[in-house]
Structures are given as structure tokens and as C-alpha cells.
Chain A
């Protein structure tokens, strides 16, 4: 890598815009990446950070605007072109092949042709590894590596690619434990010293304060804040920029009704393990009471899915005890369903929709107490029940004869929700219910959830929308830094405090 002069502009974007249909993911973005500087990009989920990165890395082509490198506009799409221009990216989900060794993975990314010189590559790996303190074992299989080690491998990979000058990091410390974070930041600063231009996507304010030279904040696709120097910048200013107006306006608190103190679900000392064997949540204490809505806040990817699955029997607890209505519970979904627990997942299309089946059939499958006409199914009766049902009407359930796999996302959501609501469960676990829905439907759903709670159902509500969480929940918990903190009384805590908890990550 030829050393550029520190401060030299390696890359500049001008008016960069990307649209997906009617959604504008990035609007008019201007940013620069300079050699020997770390530029931090802050923003919430859905703010457009990953779209921006994908444009810089060549996965997407921008709809408007330019990217300028070496004084000339460049096209970075497809990714090979970005690589050729010296842009390397360390992904959050790692572009690695678990079944192969470190050496093989690097050879694939970095090599050319059908053979590679093993010894030579090994030496180069060791060289880079030593220089930046990135210990990797070339002969280890990737599936054996923990997340921190995988990340180091990704970084080594990027450093070994010829001509790398800019390195983009996508939420790098989300997979690291506190001790590793320190080492990571040290390495970042070493890279900076060696003249690389670094783009750091993150939501961790303290890290930004610790090492960034420049910072930009993205909200709803627009760059709302930018600073070319960290002097005089406080964390509060950054949080305020990220949260936008949510900080200020008074969140309307709907009447959450009186709740029983009768406990319906309890998780004690829960330890939940993710798909790769890593601990996703530890020391979880959670209680749900009759008729109460508990909102779960947290940046996506902090264990929401795993926790929900555990509470429905789709995932086994590594440690801890789970009781429903006072009785210990174990086994698969059937046991949980029988105990009165219902789950509305965040990806109904993949997990609940059956290709070729109509909405009516889906409703009958799992939700309605259908009278069985001996061995058959009373379709007529089911249809009548549905057409008369409050929930279906209010949710504006689409025409019963339509195929569920052809529905829009919103309609699928409505169907799945109606189904769950009609079961009148004791415990409802629901993930991101209003994602992708319009305001009107959202309000209706929210009202239904409140009604359900008023009738005694305990609801655990996962949501990214703080408004919604505050509106509906009696109590709030926060998933961050592998912990579940709370419960906090929704009437007493402020959105800003919740935000800080979400963003700060590690609990004290």
C-alpha cells in the first residue's frame, strides 16, 4: 500500500442517492474519506447506513450523485471494481466460509488463478498479523473461531488484498467483548497511523468519542449532522442528532388499563445461545403479568429473535428456568401452544406462510377454534366466523380467497396478527408488529393489543419504534450488550434514557 499523505482525500461522494421503489434509502449524501483519518458514521437501524456502505462497496449502483476518487468520478459497481479501487470492507456478518480454513478463505479472496502458494500466503498472513496485532491461525477452520477471531480474519483479508487504501467497518464491535474492543480500537489507530482511510459505521458513541476524527449522523436516509473535528463535541449532542425529534415530543401514552399482578410467565437466570454457539444473552430475568404489556427495546441484533424463540419453545435455554402460569415448561412449540403462548414472528413470510394456501386456510390452520365436521373441516362455518369476527374486520383482513403467498408484506402481517388475536392467548409474544404498515393499520393493531391486554393477555412486545413501545407498554426492558436490563416503569423513564441504554451497549 503506498502511503498517501495524511489528510489527502481518497474518496468523496457528492449528492449520492439511492431509491428502492418509492422508498428513498439515501438522499443527497456528501461525505469524504481521508487518508490517515477515521470517519465515523452514526445512525439508527433503518437510517440508511448499510445502503450507503453497499454503494461504496459496489453492491449497489447509486441512482443519483457521484463518487469521486483520484479526482475522477468512478463506478464502483459491481464489488470487483470497488476492490480494484482499493476499497475493502469488513462486514458485520462476515463474508467467510465456515467449513473452510483461514488460509483457504484468504486464498479465495486474495488470490488469483487456480493455484496458490501456500507457504508464501502463510508468511504474508503472519506478517500482517504481527504488524497490527491481529492473531489468526491459518490452519484453523472458520467455524472453530469465535466472532472476535473471525473479525480479525476479515481484517487480515482486507489488508492482504492488493492496493487497499480505504477500509469500511460495519458495526465492528458489536461482536466483541469489552476486552477485545480495546484491542480493536488500538488496531484502528494503528491503521490510521499507517495511512489508511477508515469509515467506521457504528452506534456506539463512546467509541466514536475515543477514536474518530470526523463524524456524520444519518437519519432516515439524510445526513443530518456532520463534524470535521471532534473538538468540543459532546456525546449528548450526538445522541440528540441520532434520536432526532423523538427526544423532544411528548409521547402520547395510551391508557394501558389496570393490570393484575398475577404472574403468567417467568424466566430466571436465563442464558440463551445463538446459532453459532455464541452466548447471545446472559443472566436474563423476565416476568410477565396478566394483562400487562412489556416492551422490549433494543437495537436489532441484540438477541430479540433468540429470546422470542426461546419463549415459544423453538430454542432451548442453555441455562435457566422458564415457567408459564406457575408450571415449568419444556419441549417444542406444541407444549407452549397448549400452555397458552402464541408467537407472532418477525418474518411471517418465511415462517408462517404456506405457498399456494389461501388466507382462509391459514386462519383455519392455527387460530380459530374450528368446528370439525367429522373428519373434514367446516369451511363454511370458518368463513362465517371470520367474516363476523371483530379482529378480522378491524384489521381489514384481505379477501379470504386470496393466496397468502401473493400478499403484500402488510397484508401478511395483518393475517398473522388476526390469527394470533383470535386465539385469545394467555401470553402473546409479538415481534415488530407494525413494521411496514401504514399509520392507520398501525393504530388499529396497537389498539387491538391494548384490548387484548385489557382482557387479560400478557404481551411481550419487541419493537424498534420507541413511540410504539412507550405508547403501549406498562413496563420496558432493554436488550443491549448481551444483557436484559429493566424492567423500567414506562411512565417514569424517558425516551432519552432508554435511548442511552440502547446505544451505550454494555451495562455498567
Chain B
């Protein structure tokens, strides 16, 4: 069934973006925008792939991918938080750096093959017609990413830790007055974001495509950042947006298979156009729910 295929593909394709956008969500909630997510994702994709090739263990690969993503975001957090650099410009440079670094180190992996993660159908549940295929026939990382959403929601909105993270992004002096250092909170948030982006990248190379190609994320990191805005900084909406993006990608395959007369290139464009459209629609709402600290990054002059 076409719809089933698209939905299943939406989840599989969207997971990498979803992980990155959940990570970016944490970072932005704390007040830091990280356009370098693209770099973190690529680092994770390559790192995870490489370690999986070397050790044959995709879980080890996942951990390494996450760490690679974290290291990249460490550069961003250092430059932005400790050196006071402009967030947008730094993020872009990191993106550029990430593409360059991974292209370079990834040369020898381009034709490697791995087993990686394969879809693991959940017994019984995956036999349910329609829903079974769509929801319960995925690789382990996708399952984990779905579980991440309620966990993240819980931490952000039901624990004091979440209050602290959000306070860093809203009114850091109130946080400081409570004896907690906002800078530290931001560092942790950005690093956590980088880790998740790295894992997202790993899912892309180790679970989705089982290969490494240079610049394979093709802007997913950027989309992830845009989706966080679209989602009004809420985990559930970020998930929806990511799967929408995934669906647009899955649509490409379906169109090709079905032989519909839509240009593939137009389909390639759709995910990005969709993201733009989504951003436009929520523009009104965005102003009120944006973490205050981000407002300065966006609305101020190009200054840092």
C-alpha cells in the first residue's frame, strides 16, 4: 500500500532529522542556536560508520557517533559561550568544517559495507495490519528515538532540571540568582544536542543507508534547526515536523516506483520547501513561545 510505504519511510527517513532536532531543541531551550548541527550529524554519521566497520558492533558505533557529534558541538559552545562569538556565524563555520573534515576522513569508507542496524520487527505488534508495518518494523535507533520524545518532554516540563534548562534560555539572571551558573547549563545543553545529532547521523549511515557518502546529510542538520522553530520548541511537534520531512523524502521513492509524472528534482526540493512553508505558517505563534535568549540572536543586528 502506498500510504503504508510512505508512512514507514517517513519514520525511517525522518529519524535522523528527529534526533538532531530534539538535540537542537534542548540547546535552543537553553538559549543557544547551533547551525553547526549539520557538522555534528556528519561527524556522527562518519564516526558511527567507521567504528561499526572496525568493530562490527553497531551499538559501539552509535556511541562513538554520538561522541563525535558532541566533540563538534564542543567547538561551537566554546566559541559562542566562552569567546562570545556570533552564534549564527560560528554555526555556519562549523557546518563547513564538518563537511570538510568528514569528506577528508571518510574517503576510505566510501565503498565499505556493513551490516549495521536492520529493521527489527516487534513480535505480535508488527503483525497488526497497517499500523504494524508503520510503527513496529524499524531499526533499534528509530525505536529509541521515538521513546526519546516523551522522555525529553518529561525532563523538560516535569522536572527541576527542565526548569533549569528553560530558565537558562528565558531569564538567565533569575537562574543565576538561584545559585546556578547559566553558562554551565548552556554548555551541557549544547553538548547534549551535539550528541543527539551525532546519533542521528549514525542512524543515517548505519541504519538507514548502510553506507557512507560524503555530505550525506544533505542539509538535514539545517532542516532540524528550522524544525525546532516550526515546533515552537516542543518535542512532540518537532517529531511531527521531522516525520513530515521524512514523508516528503519517502515520497520521492514512491513517485519513482509508481511512475508518476512528477520530476524527481521537484521532489528533492519538496522537503526544504515544506520546511519553509511550515516556518511561515507558524511565524505568528513563534514570537511568543521563543525562548527569550534566542530573541536576541535573531532580532539584533548581525552583531554577536
Contact = CB atoms under 8 A, between A and B. Distances in A.
Interface stretch (A105-113, A338-346, A422-430): A105-113
A80 B177 CA distance: 8
Task: Please classify the interface of chain B as helix (H, G, I), strand (E, B), loop, or mixed, using the class held by over half of its residues.
Answer: helix
B159 interface: yes
Interface centre among A95, A99, A107, A115 (most CB of B within 10 A): A99
Contact of A107 (B163, B175, B177): B163
Interface stretch (B90-98, B164-172, B258-266): B164-172
Contacts of A111: 160
Contact of A108 (B167, B173, B292): B167
Contacts of B125: none
Interface in A68-87: 78-80, 83
Interface string B152-194: 0000001111011011001101110111000000000000000
B170 A95 contact: no
B291 interface: yes
A114 B166 contact: no
Contacts of B158: 118
Interface string B204-217: 00000000000000
B238 to A, nearest CB: 18
A109 B167 CA distance: 11
B291 A108 contact: no
A457 B171 CA distance: 43
A109 B178 CA distance: 6
A98 interface: yes
Contacts of A99: 166, 170, 289, 291-292
Contacts, number: 52
Contacts of B289: 99
B161 A115 contact: yes
B174 A114 contact: no
A100 interface: yes
A116 B159 contact: yes
Contact of B174 (A78, A96, A113, A355): A96
A107 B160 contact: yes
Interface string A43-85: 0000000000000000000000000000000000011100100
Given A79-B179, A80-B179, A95 B161 contact: no
Given A108-B175, A108-B178, A97 B170 contact: yes
B170 A98 contact: yes
A115 B166 CA distance: 14
Interface string A101-135: 00011011101011110100000000000000000
A100 B291 CA distance: 11
B181 to A, nearest CB: 11
Given A97-B166, A99-B166, A108-B167, A116 B179 contact: no
Nearest to A121: B160
Task: Please classify the interface of chain A as helix (H, G, I), strand (E, B), loop, or mixed, using the class held by over half of its residues.
Answer: loop
- Chain B's interface size range is 20 to 34
Interface in A254-312: none
B172 to A, nearest CB: 10
Interface residues of A, number: 22
B10 to A, nearest CB: 31
Interface in A179-210: none
Interface string B277-297: 000000000000101100000
A116 B166 CA distance: 15
A114 B170 contact: no
A472 B259 CA distance: 84
Nearest to B158: A118
A83 B177 CA distance: 10
A113 B160 contact: yes
A104 B163 contact: yes
Nearest to A95: B174
B175 A100 contact: no
A10 to B, nearest CB: 22
Given A100-B166, A108-B167, A95 B160 contact: no
Contacts of B160: 107-108, 111, 113-116
A97 B171 contact: yes
B156 to A, nearest CB: 11
Contacts of A107: 160, 163
Given A80-B179, A95-B177, A108 B171 contact: no
Interface in B139-159: 158-159
A116 B164 CA distance: 12
Contacts of A80: 179
Interface of A: 78-80, 83, 95-100, 104-105, 107-109, 111, 113-116, 118, 355
Given A96-B174, A97-B167, 16 more contacts: A79-B179, A80-B179, A96-B171, A97-B166, A97-B174, A98-B171, A99-B289, A99-B291, A108-B164, A108-B174, A109-B178, A113-B160, A115-B159, A115-B160, A116-B159, A355-B303
11 contacts: A83-B179, A95-B174, A96-B174, A97-B166, A98-B171, A99-B291, A99-B292, A105-B163, A109-B178, A111-B160, A116-B159
Interface of B: 158-161, 163-164, 166-167, 170-171, 173-175, 177-179, 289, 291-292, 303
Instruction: Identify the 10 closest CB pairs spanning chains A and B, nearest first.
Output: A114-B161, A80-B179, A116-B160, A104-B163, A97-B170, A108-B163, A95-B174, A97-B171, A115-B159, A111-B160
